Amino acid sequence: MKDFKTQIDEILQKVSIIDVINNYVELKKSGKNYFGLCPFHDDTNPSMSVSEDKKIFKCFSCGETGNAITFVQKIENISFMQALQKVAKTVGIDINVSENPQEQVNRKYYQIMHKATEFYKFVLHNAKDGQNALKYLYERKLNNDIINRFNIGLSLNENNLLYQALTKEGFLPVDLIELGLIKSNKDSYYDVFRNRIMFPIEDLNGNVVGFSGRIYQDGDQQHKYVNSPESVIFKKSQILYNYHRAATEIRKKDLVFLFEGFMDVIAAYRANVTNAIASMGTALTIDQAKAIQKLTKNVVICYDGDEAGIEATKRAIDILASINLSVKVCTLPEGLDPDDYINKYGAQKLNEFLNNNQISSIDFLYLIEQRRLSLDDPTSIELFKRNVFRFLSKLNSNVLIEIYLNKMSTDLGVSFESLQNDFKKNRIYFQPTEPFIPKHTPKRFKLKERNTKYLLAEKFLIIMAYQNKEACREIINSLDNHYVDRNQRALLFKVNDYYYKYDMMDHEIFSKMLSESQLELITDILKNGLDEIYNLTIPELVSEVKDYKTKRQIYEEHKQALIQEDDLDEQDLLRFSKIKSSLIKVVKSGQNKN
């Protein structure tokens, strides 16, 4: 039996690299080799050479090189094994890749979702109601090219058509329920998506993992969108809509436009912006940011210009900058989304706006804070100063810091020196504490603990929640049941209760919801919070609070080990007495707070 390497070598020898690459790029012979435009950068003169003799390709401009398998892997943004299987099929070789049980389950789920996609597409183009749905799509300026490119389909207003179609294919109802395609009602089953235009949602490798169904008929009073629930293959935090289709264009242009929703991406495609993806209306995650990083280091965030969109943009800037990506922002005017903008000004104007109206992330953050500034209100001035200091403190460039401090000096009408002094005084960083870990024997421990670190993290979460409704929701959902101080937790819940009734914070109204001690606590937190800069994001602050509980549990676990003194020698006793004293203080302080 041939080993794996021998099989790969055999495939590479049998396959024509010219034929493989010709499926993606037009190649022309020049001398012994073939040449074509490199698909991995914005190539205007053919700079990619392909050698049939050596079985390799090489771009003399961007440096990309490899064989037929790695070419397919890169251009389709798939795994090596997927590319290997694809190339092997062209020369009639079967590659059996061993799968673990979960991969086998996932493959079955991908097959189901693929069949569902094909079913919805067939219905759109062949059912009687499909004509009305197509008319709606054409009126929205989605032509057949777009409909086919994004695999748009239709679910009919029938109870279980998809259920019948998929079970006839041999798929089990339990798997269809797991994927959110059907639900059960006593002894019967019914389709989740009915009477909706269907938009498939793919993962980073192009596998359909979910759907978003949109109403399209006048007078339909149902929810505008119904979306697939999260499942074993559908994780919103890991999905970037259109990622696999746009990967080649993103690499070529070394730039990606990041939108909020899939309809924004489709509108951008109508405007010939082919390097666009979307984070599916959820807060950008570090997993999504790292996926972007694989394709480019340059990101243009194109979220909505309302308050929710602004806060989402700020959080996305933090996450993208944390992995050293270069971030710009482009916000459409007049509160328009890309689709509205095209309908009002035309597709070409959208293309021009997206490419010609990008500002740096620092400029964006500064302008947002400046928009909220009231020079007649000292509290507003301090809040403006604190928020600007917060993102300036993350810069590694003293030149940029000086430029923006000068700008602040002009905008506020104060001296540069006073701002510079305030910035230096308030530019505080929390140094990571050394975890409480046993050394080689359980008798000796390292201990560096400052409860003020965790208390302060919790205070800043309260400030962030107080200032913004969306931030409050994110904090409450992320913290779950973790807290440092019971009174501070109760105050945070009060802020959350307030935002169930109101969209914007009114301190006078909020104060009436608090007890005397709570009012005193929030006043103290807000007053002190304006004098300090805590340069961490919400996820980082939440992590600090959660870390407090974890360390307290570790202390409790090891506390008893320190109390057993009988077998300690004299030197260990001396060390033990100091460590024990510190440890018990920490544990007691934590117990008193909880």
If you write DSSP's letter for every residue of 359-379 in order, what string do you get?
EEHHHHHHHHHHHT--TT-HH
Report pLDDT for 153. 98
Q: Is the pTM here over 0.75, yes or no? A: no
> Alpha carbon of 418 to those of 99, 349, 561, 594: distances in Å?
64, 45, 53, 41
**β-bridge mates for residue 28, sequence order:** 35
Q: Which alpha helices (DSSP H) does 395-485 contain, by range?
A: 398-412, 416-426, 451-467, 469-479
Report pLDDT for 190. 95
Report pLDDT for 555. 54
Report pLDDT for 214. 95
Report pLDDT for 590. 45
Report pLDDT for 582. 52
In terms of phi and psi (left: phi > 0; alpha: psi -120 to 50; beta: otherwise), the region of 254 is left
If you write DSSP's letter for every residue of 145-183 in order, what string do you get?
HHHHHTT-EEE-S-SSHHHHHHHHTT--HHHHHHTTSEE
Q: Which two tokens stand for residue 524?
A: 């103290």
Q: Which two tokens stand for residue 92?
A: 């009639």
List the pLDDT tens digit at each of the 594 positions of the chain.
456 678 888 899 999 999 999 888 889 998 889 999 998 887 888 989 999 999 999 998 888 899 999 999 888 877 788 888 889 888 888 776 555 566 667 889 999 999 999 999 999 999 999 999 999 999 999 999 999 999 999 999 999 999 999 999 999 999 999 999 999 987 899 999 999 999 999 999 899 999 999 999 988 888 899 999 999 999 988 999 999 999 989 988 999 999 999 999 999 999 999 999 999 877 898 889 999 998 999 999 999 988 888 989 998 998 998 888 999 999 999 889 999 999 999 999 999 999 999 999 999 999 999 998 999 988 889 889 888 988 888 787 889 999 999 999 999 999 999 999 888 876 643 233 333 323 332 333 233 334 577 888 888 889 888 888 888 888 988 887 788 888 998 899 899 888 877 777 878 788 888 988 899 899 888 876 544 445 567 887 888 888 777 666 555 555 444 444 444 444 444 454 555 555 555 444 444 444
Report pLDDT for 101. 62
Report pLDDT for 316. 93
Residue 202's H or E segment, with its range, is strand 196-202
**β-bridge mates for residue 257, sequence order:** 276, 300
Cα angle 115, 116, 118; round to 5: 65
E-assigned strand segments in 295-374? 298-301, 326-329, 359-360
